[in-house]
C-alpha cells in the first residue's frame, strides 16, 4: 500500500510501484537464453486482423466523416443568416481518429465546440442544419439524426457519426442543466479532444494500436476487466509498449503478457503509482475512477488469466469467442489445474452483514 509520512504540510501520500519484471530484468538474469514465443505472436497478429475493420468499411466511414466535416467547416467560416448556433471548432476524436476502431462498429466520433452556450434547443437546430446541408450536397443520402445525452448521432444506412457537443471553458460555469447539456457531458467532449491529441503525439506506434484493439475485445469478454475504460486501455497499452529501460518499444507478445503481469501485481490497486493521467492538470491516477470493488476485480481476474496464459491457454484469453468462463470456473491446462482467484476486497456493509449472520448462527 502507499505510505503516509508526516511533514510540515501534514500527511503526504507516497504511492508504491508494483513489481515490473520488464524494468528490472537485468537483476534477474535467465539461466537459459530467453525464447521467443512465435505461436503467441502469430495468434495476436491474427486476432488483430480479425478485429480490424475492412478497408471498405473504413472508406465508407471516412466518406461520411468528410461530408459532415465539410458542412461543419462551412458553418464555422460562413454561418447561415439567422443561424443562432456559433461554432468555435470541430475535430475528429475517438477510436476512428486514433486508428483503433474495431470490426462491426461503423461509428466515428466528432467533437463540436460551441462559442455559444450549449442550449438543448441549439443542439437540435445544429443537427437539423447538418442533415439539411448534407442532403443538399448529396440528395441520395438518407441521413437522419437521433439525440443523445452528449449531443446527437447522424445515421446514414449502416454508418453513424456521433457528434459530441462541447463549449468554451468560460461558458462552463454558466451551464444550467435545465436548458443546457449536462456539464459532465460537455467536459467529456473537451477531454476527448485532449485524449486524441495526446494519442496522436505519443501513441502512434503500431504495437500500441494492436494491443489496444486486443485489450478492448478482451474486456468485452471478461466481466472482471470491464471497468477498464477505453482511455485507461490506451494509456496502459502505451505504458507497457513504450516504458522500457532501453526506450525501445516492446514486441506485441511481450507487451501483451506484461499487461497481465502488471495488473496481477496490483498496478491498478489503491496505493499504487499506476498511471498519472497526462491530460489532467491535477495529479490524477487513472485507476482512481474505478471503485475499490472494480479495482479488486481487475486484479484477481488478471491473476487468473495470467496463470492460464502461463500454462498455455492463451488462445482462450485472446479469442475469438469464449464466454469468459476461464476467469470464473476451474480449468485444466497441460495437466495443471487453474482455479479462479478470489476477491480480496469486501465492502463494509457485506462484512457487517456476514458478522451479524455469524452471531445469529452462534446464538442458535
HEC readout, the chain: CCEEECCCCCCEEECECCCCHHHHHHHCCCCCCCCCCHHHHHHHHHHHHHHCCCHHHHHHHHHHHHHHHHHHHHHHHCCCCCCCCCEEEEEEEHHHHHCCCCCCCCEEEEEEEECCCCEHHHHHHHHHHHHHHHHHHCCCCCCEEEEECCEEEEEECCEEEEEEEEECHHHHCCCCCCCECCHHHHHHHHHHHHHHHHHHHHCCCHHHHHHHHHHHHHHHHCHHHCCCCHHHHHHHHHHHHHCCCCCCCCCHHHHHHHHHHHHHCCCCCCCECCCECCCCCCCCEHHHHCCHHHHHHHHHHHHHHHHHHHCCCHHHHHCCCCCCHHHCCCEEECCEEECCCCCCCCCHHHHHHHHHHHHHHHHC
pLDDT the model gives residue 83: 78
pLDDT the model gives residue 6: 45
Backbone angles phi, psi at 285, to 5 degrees: -90, 130
Cα 326 from Cα 318, distance rounded (Å): 12
pLDDT the model gives residue 277: 95
pLDDT the model gives residue 361: 64
pLDDT the model gives residue 351: 61
| Domains with residue ranges and CATH for the chain | 3-35+206-349 (1.10.1410.40), 56-202 (3.30.460.10)
pLDDT the model gives residue 84: 82
Here the cell at position 154 is 447522424
What's the burial of 81, exposed, middle or buried (CB within 10 Å: 0-12/13-18/19+)? exposed
Digits of tens for pLDDT over the chain (364 positions)? 455 444 455 567 678 889 999 998 888 887 877 666 788 999 999 999 999 999 999 999 999 999 999 999 998 888 777 778 889 999 999 999 999 999 988 999 999 999 988 999 999 999 999 999 999 999 999 999 999 999 999 999 899 999 999 999 889 989 998 899 999 999 999 999 999 999 999 999 999 999 999 999 999 999 999 999 999 999 999 999 999 999 899 999 999 999 999 999 999 999 999 999 999 887 899 999 999 999 999 999 999 999 999 998 899 999 887 778 899 999 998 888 999 998 888 877 666 666 666 666 666 6
Cα 274 from Cα 236, distance rounded (Å): 9
pLDDT the model gives residue 77: 85
pLDDT the model gives residue 5: 44
pLDDT the model gives residue 7: 46
pLDDT the model gives residue 312: 87
Amino acid at each position: 500500500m502507499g505510505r503516509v509520512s508526516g511533514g510540515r504540510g501534514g500527511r503526504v501520500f507516497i504511492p508504491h510501484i508494483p513489481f515490473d519484471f520488464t524494468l528490472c530484468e537485468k537483476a534477474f538474469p535467465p539461466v537459459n537464453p530467453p525464447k521467443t514465443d512465435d505461436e503467441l505472436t502469430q495468434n495476436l497478429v491474427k486476432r488483430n486482423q480479425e478485429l480490424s475493420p475492412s478497408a471498405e468499411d473504413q472508406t465508407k466511414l471516412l466518406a461520411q466523416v468528410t461530408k459532415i466535416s465539410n458542412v461543419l467547416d462551412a458553418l464555422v467560416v460562413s454561418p447561415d443568416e439567422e443561424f443562432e448556433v456559433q461554432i468555435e471548432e470541430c475535430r475528429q476524436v475517438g477510436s476512428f481518429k486514433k486508428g483503433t476502431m474495431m470490426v462491426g462498429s461503423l461509428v466515428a466520433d466528432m467533437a463540436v465546440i460551441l462559442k455559444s452556450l450549449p442550449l438543448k434547443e441549439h443542439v437540435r437546430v445544429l443537427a437539423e442544419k447538418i442533415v439539411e446541408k448534407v442532403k443538399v450536397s448529396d440528395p441520395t443520402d438518407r441521413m437522419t439524426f437521433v439525440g443523445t445525452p452528449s449531443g446527437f448521432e447522424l445515421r446514414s444506412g449502416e454508418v453513424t457519426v456521433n457528434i459530441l457537443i462541447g463549449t468554451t471553458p468560460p461558458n462552463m460555469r454558466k451551464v444550467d442543466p435545465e436548458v443546457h447539456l449536462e456539464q459532465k457531458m460537455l467536459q467529456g467532449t473537451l477531454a476527448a479532444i485532449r485524449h486524441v491529441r495526446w494519442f496522436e503525439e505519443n501513441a502512434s506506434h503500431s504495437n500500441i494500436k494492436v494491443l489496444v484493439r486486443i485489450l478492448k475485445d478482451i474486456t468485452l469478454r471478461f466481466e472482471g476487466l470491464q471497468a477498464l475504460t477505453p482511455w485507461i486501455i490506451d494509456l496502459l497499452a502505451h505504458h507497457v509498449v513504450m516504458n522500457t529501460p532501453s526506450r525501445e518499444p516492446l514486441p506485441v507478445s511481450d507487451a501483451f503478457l506484461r499487461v497481465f503481469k502488471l495488473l496481477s501485481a496490483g498496478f491498478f490497486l489503491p496505493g499504487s503509482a499506476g498511471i498519472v493521467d497526462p491530460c489532467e492538470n491535477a495529479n490524477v491516477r487513472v485507476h482512481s475512477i474505478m471503485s475499490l470493488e472494480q479495482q479488486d476485480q481487475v486484479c484477481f481476474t488478471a491473476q487468473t488469466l495470467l496463470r492460464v496464459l502461463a500454462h498455455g491457454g492463451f488462445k482462450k484469453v485472446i479469442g475469438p469467442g469464449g464466454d469468459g468462463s476461464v476467469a470464473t470456473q476451474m480449468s485444466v491446462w497441460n495437466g495443471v489445474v487453474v482455479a479462479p482467484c478470489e476477491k480480496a476486497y469486501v465492502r463494509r456493509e457485506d462484512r457487517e452483514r456476514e458478522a451479524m449472520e455469524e452471531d445469529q448462527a452462534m446464538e442458535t
